[in-house]
Chain A
Amino acid sequence: MTSTINWRHLLLWAVFLGGLALMPQFVTRGTLRTFIFANYLAIFAMSWDVLSGRTGYVSFGHPFLIGIGAYTSAILSYRFHVPVGWSIPIAVATTMIGGTLFFLPALRIRGSYFALVTLAFMELMYQLVQVIRPDLTGGTRGISGVQTLLRGAVNNYYLSLGLMGVIAILLWSMMRTRLGTALSAIGMNEEAVEGSGLNTTKLKLFAFMVGAAVAGIGGAFYVHYLGSIAPRALFDVNFLFTIIVAALLGGASTIIGPMLGAFFLTFLLEYLRPLLPGAERYFIYGLIALLLYMYEPRGLYELFHRGRARIFGGRA
């Protein structure tokens, strides 16, 4: 846990992001679009992990935050013709403020109660966008024709990759500070953190606001990639569980873990599509996630870590 930044860490990041940067040279446009989704899923999974993976406050309401970011930017740019350069920052601020207003009371409760309350937020948002001001939200049909930022798979791939890379490096840097250690400590024993003289409510709120900001950024950019938004796709339990499973499968409480999990899940679902075109695919990924979680609760990252230790020696 004690942190020293060394060249090996930076080299690994450079190799990882550099490898992804070369991807358009080797894969088809269709595969590239799958990568784009994986990049956005990685952003959502990292944002979920900041609060839930670190502190153990498992949120089932993450699409609620992504939805605030996505809808705010979509409404501002489509209905009010606000330039995207403004609508996205406003959407991020709205996600942080709106999310905090809802989640702040919930941060005082723990465990399954917290999870259930946050799940209720997602359902609330799903109902609200359909009935409150459908002239703005588009009701059940949502909004289509939202301005896209860039055209073409390659450009959008680099945009999503850059966004994911910047967010990952910023979060990684933050988690290597004392603050990151304190957040992880909350996940292990919140009373002992409070007993060390730290205000855990303040720490959780900070983690939540960072997570909300990242979710807002992801949601806003994602809607300007898709060019449309619909409540059924966003506030969907499958979408929620894909985010959570990506973080847990890859390795919660790490940065690289949720990214690995997002790529693994996205491509698993994609390759299962020809075999199982319906929702049955989710059973398969659920089964794989369950088996992996039973075998190694710390996820793919830990497997990778142990494999590296076995090959190069050292502590796993």
Chain B
Amino acid sequence: MTFILELEHVVKRFGGLVATNDMTFAVYKGESLGLIGPNGAGKTTIFSLIMGEHKVDSGSIRLHGEELTGLPTHKRIRRGIARTYQVPRPFADMDVLANIEVGLMPDSLIEMLVSPFDHAEGRAIARSVGLAEADLHRDPAELSMGDLRKLELARTLATRPEVMLLDEVFAGLTSGEIAQISGLLKEKRQDGLTYVIVSHDLRSLEPLIDRAIAMTQGTFVCAGSYQEVMNDKAVRMAYLGH
């Protein structure tokens, strides 16, 4: 098995706060990795560092062995990595299909000017995440939280990532919606997608992941199967205080 994404001795400080403290881990191609830890553990910061939304103070982040740390966010996405956000961030004045089509756009001014909108591809991606045809011309404000999450997933999938970073995709969803999104992630994985997922909903996370990494206060605690990590003393201390 080969690594697709590697973090090595990554450090990020915000003033006096060490948000990411010498984090090292790797993600195998085709793997589904859970990143777990209590609030403030630094999980979302890791995602922001991988995407280049925050600059690392030191350390290395590689995709397919190529260094990402000097690249702006849009170039990292073109290399094959993308993320979703805890709070979905749709383009409010665009309908659902147009939102997805932004993710399909080429990063070339000429192509953007001359190539037509790819409605068929946009529709196919919408269908693949379970958005109904009737939703395509609705505004994001008219969608439920579950459909907003699907829209976020669809726009991210439209960038054709090999690795997806999923940040709290179950937050605010009903149990039915959680089951839908989980089913969707399983399908995408069968299609070859690698993902790293952060969620406070550990029960929903368990069946989705091959492996988990626990962290607290920006520091690596342990790694292993879900059960191994949850039975780890340090993890129990961080979560339960005993």
Interface residues of B in 73-132 (CB under 8 A from A): 73-75, 77-78, 82-83, 89-95, 97-98, 101-103, 105-107, 109, 111-115, 117, 119
A189 to B93, CA, bound (A): 10
CB distance from A182 to the nearest CB of B (A): 6
Residue A200 CB within 8 A of the other chain: yes
A231 to chain B, nearest CB (A): 35
Tell me, yes or no, whether B150 is within 8 Å of chain A by CB: no
Cα A245 to Cα B35 in complex, Å, equals 50
* Contact between chains at A177 and B158 (CB < 8 Å): no
Please give the distance in Å from B76's CB to the nearest CB on chain A: 9
Complex alpha-carbon distance, A21 and B78, angstroms: 49
The answer to the question of A275 belonging to the interface, with a C-beta cut-off of 8 Å to chain B, is: no
From known contacts A191-B89, A196-B155, infer whether A2 and B83 are also in contact, taking CB-CB under 8 Å: no
Q: Complex: how many Å from CA A182 to CA B83?
A: 19
Q: A200 to B112: give the CA distance in the assembly, Å.
A: 13
- For B199, the chain A residues whose CB sits under 8 A away are none
**In the assembled complex, B21 has its CB within 8 A of some CB on chain A:** no
One digit per residue, 1 when the CB lies within 8 angstroms of any chain B CB and 0 when it does not, for chain A 12-50 equals: 000000000000000000000000000000000000000
Q: Report whether B98 and A181 are in contact in the complex, using a CB–CB cutoff of 8 Å.
A: yes
Whether A196 pairs with B77 at a CB distance below 8 angstroms is yes
A residues near B53, Cβ cutoff 8 Å: 191
Partner of A185, one of B77, B82, B91, B115: B91
- B109 — nearest CB in chain A belongs to which residue? A206
Q: Verify if A198 is at the interface (C-beta below 8 Å from B).
A: yes
B102 proximity list for chain A (CB < 8 A): 181-182, 185, 192-193, 196, 198
Residues A197 and B115 in contact in the complex (CB < 8 Å), given A1-B98, A191-B89: no
* A242-B202 Cα distance, complex, nearest whole Å: 57
Closest A residue, CB atoms, query B152: A192
**Interface flag for B51 (CB, 8 Å):** yes
- Structural contact, B92 and A188, CB atoms closer than 8 A: yes
In the complex, the number of residue pairs spanning A and B with C-beta atoms less than 8 Å apart equals 96
In the complex, the answer to whether A178 meets B73 with C-beta atoms within 8 Å is no
| Chain B residues closer than 8 Å to A199, beta-carbon distance | 72, 74-75, 107
Contact of A197 among B74, B113, B114 (CB under 8 A): B74
Interface residues of B in 38-71 (CB under 8 A from A): 51, 53
Distance of B164 from chain A, by nearest CB (Å): 12
| CA–CA, A254 and B227, complex, Å | 56
> Is residue B159 within 8 Å, beta carbon to beta carbon, of the partner chain?
yes
Most B CB within 10 A of own CB, among A182, A191, A195, A199: A195
A194 within 8 A of B: yes
Find B101's partner among A178, A184, A195 (CB 8 Å cutoff). Answer: A178
Please give, as numbers and ranges, the residues of chain A lying within 8 Å of B107 by CB-CB distance.
197-199, 202
A194 to B111, CA, bound (A): 17
For A89-130 the 0/1 string (1 means CB < 8 A from B) is: 000000000000000000000000000000000000000000
Assess whether A3 is interfacial by the CB under 8 Å rule: yes
The answer to whether A291 has its CB under 8 Å from any CB of chain B is: no
Interface size class of chain B, counting residues whose CB lies under 8 Å from the partner chain: 35 or more
In the bound assembly, the distance between CA atoms of A178 and B103 in angstroms comes to 11
The answer to whether A197 touches B117, judged by C-beta atoms less than 8 angstroms apart, is no
Interface residues of B in 140-189 (CB under 8 A from A): 155-156, 158-159
Bound complex: CA of A179 vs CA of B116, how far in Å?
A: 10
- Whether A132 is near chain B, meaning CB under 8 Å from some CB there, is no
Across the interface, do A177 and B92 meet the contact criterion of CB distance under 8 Å? Answer: no
Q: How distant is the Cα of A200 from the Cα of B106 in the complex, in angstroms?
A: 12
**Cα separation A177 to B102 with both chains bound (whole Å):** 12
Tell me which residues across on chain B come within 8 A of A182, comparing CB atoms: 102, 105, 112
The answer to whether A194 touches B73 (Cβ under 8 A) is yes
Q: Which residue of A lies closest to B122 (CB)?
A: A2
Partner of B91 from A3, A179, A189, A206 at Cβ < 8 Å: A189
From the candidates B77, B95, B112, B119, name the one contacting A177 in the complex (CB within 8 A). Answer: B112
Q: Can you list 20 A-B contacts (CB < 8 A)? A: A2-B97, A2-B98, A2-B101, A177-B113, A178-B112, A178-B115, A178-B117, A181-B101, A181-B105, A182-B105, A182-B112, A184-B91, A188-B94, A189-B92, A192-B155, A197-B78, A197-B105, A197-B159, A198-B102, A200-B74
Residues of B within 8 A of A (CB): 51, 53, 72-75, 77-78, 82-83, 89-95, 97-98, 101-103, 105-107, 109, 111-115, 117, 119, 137, 155-156, 158-159
Q: A177-B114, A199-B107 are in contact. List 10 more A-B contacts (CB 8 A).
A: A1-B93, A2-B117, A184-B91, A188-B91, A188-B93, A192-B91, A195-B82, A195-B156, A196-B103, A200-B74
